Structure 1
Amino acid sequence: MVKIQDIFLKSKMQRKIWQEFLTDLNIINFSESEIDVIDETIGIFDEEKLLGTGSIARNVIKYVGTCNKDGNGAARFNQILTALEMRLMAKGISHYFVFTKPEYQKSFEYVGFQLLADSKFGVLMEKGKPNIQDFLSKFDRGNEKQKNASIVMNANPFTFGHRYLVEMAAAENNWVYVFVVSEDKSLFTFDERFELVKKGLSDLTNVTILLTSDYLVSHATFPAYFIKNSEDIVTYQTSLDARLFKKWFVPYFNISVRYLGEEPLSSTTEHYNQALKNELEPEVTVKIIPRKKFGNTVISATTVRENIKNNTVAEILPRVPETTYNYILSNLTAIRERTKNGN
C-alpha cells in the first residue's frame, strides 16, 4: 500500500534509507549545515520501499526527489509537493521558496512556482503571497532622473566602516539605498542591526534604509544540497544572489551603482565581491572601496564582536558610532551571553 509518512533523520536507519535514495538521484550533499536546519522530512512509501521524498526548512522546500523507473515520477512529485505545502500552510506559512537543479525548473513551474533567479548550477523559485512583487511595491520606486546607488550590508554591528562606505556613496550619487540583510543568523538580531544602521545614518538626507526580507541574503545561506563541488557551491550562491538583485531590485529602484567594501581580511568575501562585479557589470557599476582604518588596522565588525566576547568593550569606541557603542554598553550582558551560543 502506497502512503506518505514522516522520515525522522535523527534515526540512523531512516536517514540511511533516505540518503541512499537521494544519492541514487545524484543528490549527494548531506553536510550538517544543510541537514541541521530541516524541520520535517516526508516520504512516499510502498510498504518499506521509498519512492519519493521532500523536506521543509523553515519556509524553504528542499531535498525533493522521486523515483521514475515505473513512469510515475511526475505523479509522485505532485504528491510530495502537495503534502509539503499542506504542512507549510498548517504552520501558517503561505509563502515559500525552493532551490533546485535547473532541469527541475519546469516541474516546479507546473505547480505554480515563479522563477526568481537562475544560475548554471541551480535556480531559486517562490510560491505564495506576499511574493517579491508585493514586497517591492511597499516601497517608492527609484527616481529615473537621478543617479541612485545601493549598498547591501549585514552590519553586525554597524561600525564606522559601514558609515564610511555610505558616506562615499551619498557624496557621489543623488540617492543611496542601504539594504540591511533581514536574516537572523548574526550576533545582533535584525531589529537591532536595522535600528543601529538607522541611528548611525540619521544625519544623511539622501539615504533610504530598507530591509531585504528573504530576498537579499548572505551568499553563504543559499541551500546547495544538490551541488557536489565546494567551488561550484560558492559560484552558484554568488551568481544567484547577484542575479536576483539585478533582475528585481535594480530596475525597481533604478540602481546604477553598487558599493562594496574591500575585503583584505577574508578571501571568501573578496571572491564574492569579484563575482558580484562580474555578474552586475556593465549594467550596474560596482565600486569596491578600500576599508576605513583606525590606526594601521581596518575597521571590522568581526573585531568588534571579538571585543564584546573578550569583554574589552572600551577598545571598540573608536571603531563604532556613539549610537552603536551606547547600545552595546547598555545591553552588554545579554549580547555577551549570545556569544557563548556560537553567534
Structure 2
Amino acid sequence: MTAQVVELQLNNSRERTQWQQFLSSLDITNFSDQEVDKIDLTLGLMEDDQLVGTGSLAGNVLKYVGVCDRDSQPGARFNQIVSALVSRAFQAQQFHLMVFTKAKYSQSFQHVGFKELAHSDEAAVLENGTPDIADFVQQLPTISDQENKRIGAIVMNANPFTQGHRELVTQAAAACDLVYVFVVATDASLFKTAERLELVRQGTADLANVRVVSGGDYLVSAATFPAYFLDSAESAIKAQTTLDARIFRNQLAPRLHLTTRFVGTEPTSRTTGIYNQVLQRELPPKVALQVIPRKTVGTEPISARTVRQAIQTGELTKLDQLVPSTTARFIKTHLATLQKRIQEGMKINGN
C-alpha cells in the first residue's frame, strides 16, 4: 500500500503530539518554539491511520524530515515525502531549497537531487534547485587578475553597523586588494536585512576596495548555522559552525580566490566566540584567519548589543561614539520603529 501525503496542522494538539512522538522515535527531539514556530508547512505520510513519515518547510529550508521504513521498500517513503515537499515549495515559487541534516542522511538527499555543500562527522548541508552556489558566486563583483591578488573576506550581521565593524573593515581594506563584506541575509535581527546591508554600504562607502554583498544562503544562514539565531547548546554551535566554515573554505574561497578571513576578537558573544575558534581550526592553511582586536570606547569593547540596549531605553548620548554617523542618523530617524519592534518581542541580547 502506498502511503498518502497529508498536510499536518501542528496547531492541532492531537496532530502535534502524534508528529512529535513519531520524530522522537527517530531520535529527532528538538521541538522548541524557536524552531517549530518557523515552520510554514508540515506534511505527513499516512498508512492505515499511522504516521510513517513527515517533513516540514521553513522558508526555503527543509526541516524535521523523517520516515519509518518498516514494511516498505527502503528509501521509498523518504523519496515520497521529500518529493512532496519540493513540489509544494515549487508551487510557492520557492525554487532553491536547503537542508541541514545528520551526516548519515546526506546520501539519501543526494539520491533525490540534492547536492552536498559540506559535511562533518555529525551533519551535512545540501542544496537543491536554483540559484545555487555557483550562481551566487557568479553574481558577485570581481577585479581583474583576482587570482593573483590579496582577497579578503568578512562576514558580519551588523545589527547594527558599529565603529567596531568599521575598524575591522578598515584594517582588512588596508591589507588587501579587495575585501568582500558578506552581510548575514537571514531576517532574524532588530535591524532588517535590507537595513543592515544599506548601513554597511553607507558606513564603508569611502573604502574603494570594499564590496558589500549579501551572504545569501551560504554564510551564517538559517540553513547553514541555525544556532546563530537561537540559544543553542555548545555542541550544536560547534557542529553548525564547522559546516559553515567548510562551505566558506571549500566552496567560496576557491571560486573567489579568497586568501584571508578577518574576524574581530569576541569578548561578549558565546556563539561568535565559538565560531571564531572553529574558523581557526578549519580555515588554515587554505585560508588565513586574521583576528583584529575589538575597538573600544575607553576600556569597554564596542558591541552592537550595547547599541541595541541604548535603543531600547532611548538613552542615545553615547551613540556617536559607538556607531558611524550614517548608522546614528538612521537610528535617530527610526527610533520609534526600532523600539516598537523590541516591544513586539524582537530580542536584543543575541547576535
Both structures adopt the same fold (TM-score exceeding 0.5):
yes
- TM-score, normalization by structure 1: 0.94
1:318, 1:213 → 2: CA distance? 31
Q: Which of residues 242, 265, 270 is equivalent to 2:268? A: 265
- Shift of residue 320 of structure 1? 0.9
* CA distance 1:290–1:217, change in 2 (3 Å): same
2:333, 2:188 → 1: CA distance? 22
Q: Which amino acid aligns with 2:194?
A: D
Q: Which amino acid aligns with 1:123?
A: A
2:226, 2:342 → 1: CA distance? 25
- Shift of residue 314 of structure 1? 2.5
Q: Which amino acid aligns with 2:307?
A: V
Residues 141 and 211, structure 2, Cα contact 8 Å, conserved in 1: no
Q: Which amino acid aligns with 2:16?
A: R
Runs of 5+ consecutive residues of structure 1 not aligned to the other structure? none
- Matching residue of 1:24: 25
Does residue 106 of the first structure (1) align with residue 98 of the second (2)? Answer: no
- Matching residue of 2:349: none
* CA distance 1:184–1:204, change in 2 (3 Å): same
User: How many residues are treated as equivalent by the alignment?
Assistant: 339
Does residue 323 of the first structure (1) align with residue 326 of the second (2)? Answer: yes
Does residue 198 of the first structure (1) align with residue 205 of the second (2)? Answer: no
Once the two structures are overlaid, the 10-residue window that deviates more, 108-117 or 229-238, is: 229-238
* CA distance 1:54–1:267, change in 2 (3 Å): closer
Q: 1:173-220, CA deviations, whole angstroms, 9 ceiling, x for partnerless residues?
A: 222111111111111111111111111111111111111111112589
Residues 225 and 240, structure 2, Cα contact 8 Å, conserved in 1: yes
Does residue 334 of the first structure (1) align with residue 334 of the second (2)? Answer: no
1:337, 1:152 → 2: CA distance? 28
- Shift of residue 117 of structure 1? 1.2
Report the 3-state secondary structure (helix = DSSP H, G, I; strand = E; otherwise coil) of the residue aligned with 2:202. helix
Q: How does 1:114-153 map to 2 (within 5 A)?
A: 114-141=115-142, 143-153=146-156
Report the 3-state secondary structure (helix = DSSP H, G, I; strand = E; otherwise coil) of the residue aligned with 1:37. coil
2:271, 2:105 → 1: CA distance? 29
Does residue 213 of the first structure (1) align with residue 216 of the second (2)? Answer: yes
Q: Which amino acid aligns with 1:71?
A: S
RMSD: 1.8
Q: Which amino acid aligns with 2:260?
A: V
Q: 1:121-180, CA deviations, whole angstroms, 9 ceiling, x for partnerless residues?
A: 111111111111111111244601111111111111111100101111111222211111
Does residue 299 of the first structure (1) align with residue 302 of the second (2)? Answer: yes
Report the 3-state secondary structure (helix = DSSP H, G, I; strand = E; otherwise coil) of the residue aligned with 2:84. helix
- TM-score, normalization by structure 2: 0.92
2:195, 2:61 → 1: CA distance? 25
Residues 67 and 73, structure 1, Cα contact 8 Å, conserved in 2: no
2:27, 2:322 → 1: CA distance? 48
Q: How does 1:130-279 map to 2 (within 5 A)?
A: 130-141=131-142, 143-217=146-220, 222-223=225-226, 230-279=233-282
- Matching residue of 2:49: 48
Q: Percent identity?
A: 45
Report the 3-state secondary structure (helix = DSSP H, G, I; strand = E; otherwise coil) of the residue aligned with 2:318. helix
Q: Which amino acid aligns with 1:86?
A: S
- Matching residue of 1:310: 313
- Matching residue of 2:95: 94
